[in-house]
């Protein structure tokens, strides 16, 4: 690998550390041709930096400074070596840690970047990027660009931005206006998650840019399955939905929504009786968080009778719950909720 153009043109970069997938020279060259060959100052943020090749290329082409974020310490040592080789060490800052945590720190510092690169490992690209896009908007300077690299298309929203393919690599370029992401929270106890829950989550994922399934800790209610285990089951049955993530929720729903950058709560309704209680809760939530809207999705007819409590009771009495819970977790539900205490 080498620097393609600019002040450090032709400089050989250090060997790529094991486990890092670098952006190939030809992809970098095509990418920077799309962005504009050279830059007049401005900051660069290189997330999941790996070798730091993207950020270093930008520095070489005229960017004033660069922040590299990489959790692997061996990769961080390679970035430092590459900065040394190119003579750009005084203009680069290397930060270790998880990307989402570091983004919060950078926001706290009041940072602003003209270019933001996000090149996560392909196996987690869609989920990772979907979870951080809304935070990147606050870090992107007016007129700036976010560049997302992935192994599949479309990337994080599909219709947003311009996506180009380079062999097996897809690169999406987003402007600041395209980073406005509608995040929705779908809360519940999910004790256990049912096919009705899954239907609501799937339909919500087609409406909103990102859906966070919030698993309540139920501290006042006994459950055979801890919230972390319930969350894992939901992750298993939603693994095909790239814009859905699952979190355990502690405390108030409105506080959780703020933390997630969400402005929408999604609730499923089975009958008019559901609406009465949900309407009251929605009004209370808006009192505490006026910008928070609640969207109700009507349950499909085949799920209008279905609830977690019904599943628990049927399982506890030895009844058949096939079709009431997703197939991928059927045996787990049978094992955990069968027996005399399963309907608690």
Same domain for 238 and 287: yes
Annotation marks residue 222 as catalytic: no
Annotated catalytic residue within 270, 300, 307, 316: 270
Please indicate, yes or no, if residue 18 is contained in any of the structural domains: no
Please indicate, yes or no, if residue 333 is contained in any of the structural domains: yes
Please indicate, yes or no, if residue 313 is contained in any of the structural domains: yes
Contacts of 270 (CB under 8 A, 6+ apart): 196, 299, 303, 304, 305, 306, 307
Domain hosting residue 63, numbered range = 25-179
Same domain for 160 and 250: no
* pLDDT score of 343: 45
Please indicate, yes or no, if residue 305 is contained in any of the structural domains: yes
CATH number at residue 188: 3.40.50.620
Annotated catalytic residue within 28, 76, 137, 197: 197
Same domain for 214 and 112: no
Please indicate, yes or no, if residue 36 is contained in any of the structural domains: yes
Same domain for 169 and 46: yes
Structure tokens given for 99:
């990307």
Annotation marks residue 307 as catalytic: no
Say whether 8 sits in a helix, a strand or coil: coil
CATH number at residue 41: 3.40.50.150
Structure tokens given for 41:
């100052």
Annotation marks residue 270 as catalytic: yes
Please indicate, yes or no, if residue 202 is contained in any of the structural domains: yes
Annotated catalytic residue within 26, 105, 109, 221: 221
CB 183 within 8 A of CB 134: yes
Annotated catalytic residue within 145, 308, 312, 338: 308
Phi, psi of 93, deg, nearest 5: -125, 130
Same domain for 225 and 165: no
Q: State the DSSP string of 208-226.
A: SSEEEEEEE--TTS--SS-
Same domain for 138 and 78: yes
**Into how many domains does the chain fold?**
2
Phi, psi of 243, deg, nearest 5: -100, 25
Please indicate, yes or no, if residue 207 is contained in any of the structural domains: yes
β-sheet with 92-95: strand ranges across: 92-95, 65-69, 43-47, 113-118, 140-150, 169-175, 162-166
Write down which residue in 156, 179, 202 finishes a domain: 179
Kindly report the CA angle at 209 between 205 and 215, in degrees rounded to 5? Answer: 55
pTM of the model: 0.58
Counting every residue written for the chain, the total comes to: 344
Please indicate, yes or no, if residue 14 is contained in any of the structural domains: no
How many C-beta atoms lie closer than 10 Å to residue 142's C-beta? Answer: 8
Rounded to whole angstroms, the maximal C-alpha distance in the chain is 74
Annotation marks residue 221 as catalytic: yes
pLDDT one digit per residue (tens) for the chain, 344 residues: 899 999 999 999 998 877 677 777 888 888 998 898 789 899 999 999 999 999 999 999 999 999 999 999 999 999 999 999 999 999 999 999 999 889 989 989 999 999 999 988 755 555 556 667 767 888 999 889 999 887 776 544 445 678 888 877 888 888 877 777 788 999 999 999 999 999 999 999 999 988 999 999 865 566 788 999 999 999 999 999 988 999 999 989 999 998 888 889 999 998 877 888 899 999 999 999 998 999 999 999 998 889 999 999 999 888 999 999 999 999 999 988 886 654 44
Contacts of 73 (CB under 8 A, 6+ apart): 96
């Amino acid at each position: 690998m080498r620097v393609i153009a600019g002040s450090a043109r032709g400089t050989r970069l250090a060997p790529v550390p094991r486990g890092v997938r670098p952006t190939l020279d030809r992809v970098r060259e095509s990418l920077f041709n799309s962005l504009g060959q050279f830059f007049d100052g401005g900051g660069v943020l290189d997330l999941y930096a790996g070798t730091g090749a993207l950020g270093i290329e930008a520095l070489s082409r005229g960017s004033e400074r660069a922040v590299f974020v990489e959790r692997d310490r061996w990769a961080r040592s390679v970035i430092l070596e590459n900065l040394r080789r190119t003579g750009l060490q005084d203009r680069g800052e290397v930060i270790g840690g998880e990307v989402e945590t570091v983004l919060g720190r950078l926001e706290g510092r009041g940072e602003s970047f003209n270019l933001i690169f996000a090149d996560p490992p392909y196996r987690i690209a869609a989920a990772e990027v979907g979870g951080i896009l809304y935070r990147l908007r606050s870090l992107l300077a007016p007129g700036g660009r976010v560049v997302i690299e992935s192994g599949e298309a479309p990337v994080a929203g599909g219709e947003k931005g311009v996506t180009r393919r380079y062999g097996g690599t897809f690169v999406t370029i987003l402007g600041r206006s395209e980073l406005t992401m509608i995040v929705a929270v779908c809360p519940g106890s999910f004790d256990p998650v049912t096919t009705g829950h899954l239907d609501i989550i799937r339909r919500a994922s087609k409406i909103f840019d990102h859906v966070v399934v919030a698993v309540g800790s139920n501290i006042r209610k006994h459950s055979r399955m801890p919230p972390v285990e319930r969350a894992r089951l939901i992750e298993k049955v939603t693994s095909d939905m790239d814009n859905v993530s699952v979190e355990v929720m502690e405390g108030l729903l409105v506080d959780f929504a703020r933390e997630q950058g969400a402005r929408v709560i999604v609730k499923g309704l089975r009958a008019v009786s559901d609406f009465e209680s949900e309407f009251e809760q929605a009004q209370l939530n808006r009192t505490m968080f006026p910008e928070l809207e609640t969207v109700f999705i009507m349950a499909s007819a085949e799920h209008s009778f279905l609830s977690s409590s019904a599943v628990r009771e049927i399982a506890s009495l030895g009844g058949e719950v096939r079709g009431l819970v997703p197939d991928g977790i059927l045996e787990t539900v049978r094992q955990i909720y069968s027996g005399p205490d399963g309907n608690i």
